[in-house]
Amino acid sequence: MKLAGKWFICIASLLMGHISCAQVSFGNIALKGVTIIDAKHRVPLARQVVLIQGKFISDIFTDGSKAIPDSFTVINLTGKYLLPGLIDTHVHMATDPSGVDNRAHTLSSLEQMLYSGITTVRDMAGDARTLAGLSRDAMTGDIISPDIYYSALMAGPAFFNDPRTHTSARGAVAGKMPYMLGVTDSTDMTLAMAEAKGTGATGIKLYAYLPADIVRKIVLEANKQGMIVWGHAWLEPAKPTDMVNAGVSSISHAPLMVYDKLDSIPYAWKHQTHTPQFWDSVTPDLSRLFELMKQHHTILDATLLTYKQAGEHSLAWQCSYELGKRITAKAYQAGVTICAGTDDDQVEFVQSELNCLVKEAGLTPIDAIIAVTLNGARALQIDKQYGTIEPGKTADLLVLDKNPLQDIGNITSVNFVLKDGKVYKK
């Protein structure tokens, strides 16, 4: 065991809080005495030693069962909890890079996210030119940021009247960009998919005005070219069931799942206050859809937080929130895989989504933790390398002072964060 010299000074300063904001690379490190909580350890595994060599976890064993090699710097984490780094499956970091998503603001948000424990995000549509740069800088460590995976958007041509698509395609034409493309029956899908992939996106986001046959065509070509397909629950005319049958990997926004059963939401739902019993009685039975999602391993990206926030100011959004939390609860009870995405412009982070999932949709704290770790990695199809704490996986980890299984709010009791084996401590 090596616990001397400059590393000791660094670690002592870091862990005692003498460095206010730091990014430190220790080389080989041993996290000693920690309690592991992840999808593989639903019951916490206490007194563990986790060895990290470079950016990877190299070994895990019970403290005292074997020696820690001399070449490892030891960080004593007795009484602390170790989780995989958190994954927010729904952010928008570059809808308008010339305005609200300007570089300074975005870099500040990304930095805060990483220090809070978020090591990966999935961007669900924006200016892919900007996202390519941010993603590259996050990967190289040139910026302090979670890893950024992003999407290329496909929708019916009518969608590109939406002003958000214009700011994301600034300088060019929305609907005719490789990452912001209007698709019809006559689209050359092989070329469109290759161009989407060429933007650096790893997935296609389906947004609106797409019929089921085009959804199938997109998924078929995406499968051939190694792209994932992520759907917005309201596609019109395609229904969520059509998306699941086509093989879409994840579907975003729980409230919009009602469109599997309804063509539109009744006016009175959105413009009057209602009792909880009312919402219980009108929320459609989606059990067949949930059964289908289970068969196809389709993931629900519930995004409750954004509806909760908007619902505080508007009856229409409150309607969405009331439906969304009930639908998420039913999906969870049915055994649908749920991931954790915010979609809230980073005012609050994914830790607040976990609060909603536990307090409003009935997830147990461990299932909320699995949603924000392993299930997020599954949505991105990076679960072979991320999402649990296992030898061979990348050392993207979160150290907490308090037990998040006792209270999911303890997810914010961050001691420090590791990304690619490097320590980040605020």
Q: List interacting residues with Zn ion (CB under 5 A).
A: 124, 343
Nearer to Zn ion, 48 or 165 (CB): 165
Cβ at position 89, least distance to Zn ion in Å = 10
Nearer to Zn ion, 92 or 425 (CB): 92
97: which residues sit within 8 A by CB, 6+ positions away? 103, 106, 126, 127, 130, 167, 170
Cβ at position 255, least distance to Zn ion in Å = 13
Cβ at position 279, least distance to Zn ion in Å = 23
Task: Tell me phi and psi for residue 235, to 5 degrees.
Answer: -110, -35
Q: Which residues pair with 36 in a beta bridge?
A: 45, 82
- Tokens 């740069």 label which residue? 133
Cβ at position 352, least distance to Zn ion in Å = 16
Which residue, 47, 45, 46, 18, is CA-closest to 33?
47
Nearer to Zn ion, 234 or 332 (CB): 234
Nearer to Zn ion, 207 or 424 (CB): 207
Nearer to Zn ion, 199 or 342 (CB): 342
Cβ at position 36, least distance to Zn ion in Å = 32
Residue nearest to Zn ion (CB): 343
326: which residues sit within 8 A by CB, 6+ positions away? 279, 280, 283
Cβ at position 306, least distance to Zn ion in Å = 8
Cβ at position 346, least distance to Zn ion in Å = 12
Nearer to Zn ion, 221 or 343 (CB): 343
Nearer to Zn ion, 11 or 110 (CB): 110
Cβ at position 124, least distance to Zn ion in Å = 5
Nearer to Zn ion, 242 or 343 (CB): 343
Query: According to the 3-state scheme, what is the secondary structure of the chain?
Result: CECCHHHHHHHHHHHCCCCCCEEECCCCEEEEEEEEEECCEEEEEEEEEEEEECCEEEEEEECCCCCCCCCCEEEECCCCEEEECEEEEEECCCCCCCCCCCHHHHHHHHHHHHHHCEEEEEECCCCHHHHHHHHHHHHHCCCCCCEEEEEEEEECHHHHHCHHHHHHCCCCCCEEECCEEECCCCCCHHHHHHHHHHCCCCEEEECCCCCHHHHHHHHHHHHHHCCEEEEECCCCCCCHHHHHHHCCCEEECHHHHHHHCCCCCCHHHHHCCCCHHHHHHHCCCCHHHHHHHHHHCCEEECCHHHHHHHHCCCHHHHHHHHHHHHHHHHHHHHCCEEECCCCCCCCCCHHHHHHHHHHCCCCCHHHHHHHHCHHHHHHCCCCCCCCCCCCCCECCEEEECCCCCCCHHHHHCEEEEEECCEEEEC
Nearer to Zn ion, 124 or 414 (CB): 124
Cβ at position 232, least distance to Zn ion in Å = 7
Cβ at position 194, least distance to Zn ion in Å = 25
What's the token pair of residue 294? 């289970």
Nearer to Zn ion, 322 or 343 (CB): 343
Nearer to Zn ion, 206 or 417 (CB): 206
Is cis: bond before 255, omega within 30 of 0? no
Cβ at position 61, least distance to Zn ion in Å = 42
